Amino acid sequence: MYSLAVSDHIMIAHSFVGAIFGPAQQMHGATYGVEVEFRRQQLDADGLVCDIGLAAQTLREILAQLNFKNLDELPEFRGKNTTTEFMAGEIFRRLQVRVAAGAVGPGTAEALLSMRVVLRESPTAWASFEDSLQ
């Protein structure tokens, strides 16, 4: 299996509901390193998994929707705990739509088998979401 990964970062604010979150129930900020890995069985005719420039641009555009935002104020997250795990899945879903529309290269969506999104909240803690694209 071949893979290609690109990364970027976002800074957000949010709070959580539930005693399990302790002091994180209060408004706080987070800076996430965000990595996305695209996987396919065979390289394309040019020897690529996907277009690395388009992959980086697509990730940047998706993250721009979240960067410097208070997630508690966004309607799509109302009533949800925007944990690191949750946000990895949310970024995956947004990327999945763009990949299916050809954002990482013509004809690439059909060949990509899976994708993994990793959010690094610190050097010692991270969460990810991975799923098939087929």
Q: Work out whether strand 69-70 and strand 2-14 pair parallel, antiparallel, or are unpaired.
A: parallel
3-state secondary structure of 47: coil
Q: pLDDT tens across 58-95, in order? A: 999 999 999 999 999 999 999 999 999 999 999 999 99
Q: Give the global pTM.
A: 0.96
Domain boundaries, the chain: 82-122
Q: pLDDT tens across 25-65, in order? A: 999 999 999 999 999 999 999 999 999 999 999 999 999 99
Residue 115 and residue 46 in contact, taking contact as beta carbons nearer than 8 Å: no
Q: Which amino acid is at 131?
A: D
